[in-house]
């Protein structure tokens, strides 16, 4: 996206929103299944909320770390392939 001229904020928001929607959907489905199987309680939603918060914080950190990398450096980086011949 950065290669097409998108601003860093737009790239961050796009990736973060995608991960937030996927994670929230999974948490909601997990809570629904737990309520159905174990007759509810307050522990399941709290555990799902804690997971969601930690997951989204990790997502934000990783997106920010990748966003700080120079685009041209990424495009011109040489990769090496390690092959185990044993």
Q: What is the pTM of this model?
A: 0.54
Residue ranges of the domains in the chain? 2-66
DSSP assignment letter at 85: -
Summarised one tens digit per residue, pLDDT across range 35-85 is 777 765 677 777 778 888 888 888 888 877 777 767 676 667 666 656 666
DSSP assignment letter at 3: G
Is the per-residue pLDDT at 6 higher than 60?
yes
Output b/e per residue, 19-46; b: 16+ Cβ within 10 A.
Answer: bbeebeeebeeebeebeeeeeeeeebee
Torsion of CA 34, 38, 41, 45, to 10 degrees: -10
d(CA 81, CA 58): 28
């Amino acid at each position: 996206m950065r290669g097409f001229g998108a601003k860093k904020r737009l790239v961050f928001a796009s990736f973060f929103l995608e991960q937030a929607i996927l994670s929230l959907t999974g948490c909601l489905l997990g809570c629904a299944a737990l309520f159905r199987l174990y007759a509810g309680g307050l522990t399941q939603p709290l555990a799902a909320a804690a997971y969601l918060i930690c997951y989204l914080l990790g997502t934000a950190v990783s997106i920010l770390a990748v966003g700080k990398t120079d685009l041209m450096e990424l495009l011109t980086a040489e990769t090496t392939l390690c092959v185990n011949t044993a």
